[in-house]
A and B are shown apart, each in its own frame.
Chain A
Amino acid sequence: MTTTLEIHDLSIGYSKRAPLFKQINARLNGQKVTGLLGPNGIGKSTLLKTLAGLMPPLKGSIQPAVTGKTDNLCAFVPSQPPRAAHFSVRDTVSTGRYRYTNWLGIEDQEGKHMVSEAMELTGISHLADRNSAGLSDGEFQRVAIARALIQDTPLILLDEPTAFLDIANKRAMGLLLRKLAAEENKGILFSTHDLSLAMEHCDLFWIMTPDGVLHQGTPAEMEQNGTLKRLL
C-alpha cells in the first residue's frame, strides 16, 4: 500500500500578507522519485519544509490520501545537515529511530538490525564507528539519508541533496534515491538544479515557474510542452 499526499490550495511562505507561492494543487506519489525544479528563491525549500511539517502552511491543506498513516509521514533531509562532532555514524543514524527507542534512546535487537540495514543500503556500513564530523560531504549526506530512512516514514523529502557533491557522488545519489523508491517503497521528493541528473533519475517532475504555477508531469511531458525550456 502506498501513501500519497494530496496538496490542496496550499500557500507557503513566512508572512500571510506576502506568501511566497500560492494555490499549489498537487499530488505527491509514493514509490516514485519526484524532482522539484525551479529558479532560486521561488520557494522550493519552503515548500519542502512546509510539506515536512517544519513550517505551518499559510493556507490550504496537506492530506495523506488513498491509504496509510496520518502522522509521521515525511522525513526531511536538508542540503547541509548540521553534524555532531565526536558522535559515531552508527549513533547518528540511530537517532532517527527516536519514536521507537526507549527512554534512554537505546535500541532493542530489532532496532539495531534496522540501523545496520539502513547503513548497508546507503553504503556507509564501513563508516559505522567513524566520527561523523570527519566525513566528507558525500559520505555525510548518505548518513543523513540513512537517518531519514530509519524514521519509517512513507515519504522522504530532500533539499538539494546533490548541491555539494562531485560528479561521481551525484550520480550515486541519484541511483540511491531510485533504489529507495523501488526497493523500500519510499516516495521521494527532492529539489535540484541539476537538470540532467533529474532527467535521468526522476519519474515525475514538479516545476515551479515564476508566473506562480506548479506544473506536474513526467520528464518527457515537461520537455514536450515546453515547461522545461522555461527554466533555461
Chain B
Amino acid sequence: MKKLWLLLLLLLLIVADVFLGSVRLPAAEVWSALLSGESSDFVSKIIWNFRVPKMVTALLAGMALSVCGVQMQTLFRNPLADPYVLGISSGAGLGVAFFVMGTSALGTYTPFPWLSDLGTAAFAWIGALAVMLLIVAASKRLKSNMTLLVLGIMIGSAGSALIGLIQYFSDAPALKSYVLWTMGSLGNVTGNRLLIMSGLCLTGLLISVFNIKDLNVLLMGEQYARSLGIKLSWVRNKIFVATTLLAGSVTAFCGPIGFIGIAVPHISRMIFNNANHRIMIPASALTGSCMMILADIISQLPGSQSVLPVNTVAALMGIPVIIYVIFKNRAVEL
C-alpha cells in the first residue's frame, strides 16, 4: 500500500520534472513533443535531448545511491555509513583530479581534449574501482567489518590529501572545472553516456537484489552470519561489487552526490517501519528516486533563468528531513 503511494508520487515527480525547467515551455507543447512528436524543433530538442535524459539520470542516481547506502549501513551496522564510506568518492575524485588538473599541475597538455567529458567519467570510475580492489584485497585479511570501516575512512583521507596536493599545484581554470565536478550535475549524461550509466547501475541493482538474503543475516551480526555457514569475505565482496557499480558509476557521471545515500535509508525505515531488506531495498530505490528527482526540479528553479548545483540542493533539502527523523523517531537505530 505504501509502496503504491510512493510509486504514484514518483510518477507525479517524473512528469513534473519533464514539464518544469529553467526554460518555460507551454504544457501543450511539451505534451505534443512527448506523445506525437509534432512540435517545434526547439521544444522537442529541449525535451528529448535535455529534460528526459536528465530525469532518467536523476531516477537512476537516486535509486543507486540509496540502495548502496542501505547496504553500507547494514554491512557496518552503522547508521552513519553512506555509499562513500569506503572511500569510493575520494577514489573517483582522485581519478578526476588527475584527469582535469594533472595536466596543468604537471605542466603538460591534455592529450585528448575531445574526450574530456567521457574521460572524466572513465577516470572517476577507474579511481573508484581501484579503491574497491584495494578494499577487497584487504578484506581477506581483516576479520572484522569495523576494521574495514576504519581502513575505508583512511583510504578516503589519503585520497583527499592527494587531491589537495594536485589542487595546490594546478592552475585556476583546471581547479574550477574540478570544483564544478565536485558540486554534482545531472545534466551531462545523455546519449551513449546515459546508456553506459544505465547498464552499470541496473547491473548493480540486480546484484543488490541477490544480496538481500545475506544482508538480512548481516544485520544480526557477523558472528551469527558465520555460525550459519556464511562466508563473510564472499558476501562482503558481493556487496563491494554492487557498491562500485552503483555509487562508482553515479559519481563518475554525475559527480559525488552526498546526502541521498545516507538519508534515504533512514526515511524508508521511518515510512515502512521494517528493516527486512526484502522491503528496504525496493523501498529505498523508490524513496531515493523521488528525492533525487525532487532535488532536480528544485535545482532548476522553475521559472527563473539560473540553475543551482544539485549537490547543494540535495543537502539543503534533505538535512532538515533527517534532523526531523532523528528527533521525531528513533528510526536511525539499526
Contacts and interface: CB of A to CB of B under 8 A. Distances in A.
Interface of A: 52-54, 71-72, 74-76, 78, 81-88, 91-92, 95-96, 98-99, 101, 103-106, 133, 151
Given A81-B221, A103-B210, A104-B213, A88 B227 contact: no
Contacts of A83: 220
Interface stretch (B25-33, B191-199, B250-258, B267-275): B267-275
B223 A95 contact: no
A95 B230 CA distance: 12
B223 A78 contact: yes
16 contacts: A53-B227, A72-B229, A74-B227, A76-B223, A81-B224, A82-B220, A85-B275, A87-B275, A88-B276, A91-B276, A98-B228, A99-B229, A103-B210, A103-B213, A104-B212, A104-B213
Contacts of A76: 223, 227
B275 A84 contact: yes
Interface centre among A54, A86, A98 (most CB of B within 10 A): A86
A105 B220 contact: no
B274 A104 contact: no
A85 B220 contact: no
A87 B227 contact: no
Contacts of A88: 274, 276
A81 B226 CA distance: 13
Nearest to B273: A86
B42 to A, nearest CB: 48
Given A81-B220, A104-B213, A54 B333 contact: no
Interface of B: 77, 209-210, 212-213, 216-217, 219-221, 223-224, 226-230, 269, 273-276, 278, 331, 333-334
Contacts of B229: 71-72, 98-99
Contacts of A96: 228
A219 B334 CA distance: 43
B219 A87 contact: yes
A92 B217 CA distance: 9
B68 to A, nearest CB: 19
B210 A95 contact: no
B275 A86 contact: yes
Given A75-B227, A76-B227, A86 B269 contact: yes
A96 B210 CA distance: 18
Given A84-B216, A87-B216, A87-B274, 7 more contacts: A54-B226, A74-B227, A82-B77, A85-B275, A86-B269, A95-B216, A104-B213
A104 B278 contact: yes
A75 B223 CA distance: 11
A73 to B, nearest CB: 11
B320 to A, nearest CB: 23
Given A82-B77, A84-B275, A151 B220 contact: no
Given A76-B227, A151-B228, A98 B213 contact: yes
A74 B275 CA distance: 28
Nearest to B226: A54
Given A98-B230, A104-B278, A84 B213 contact: no
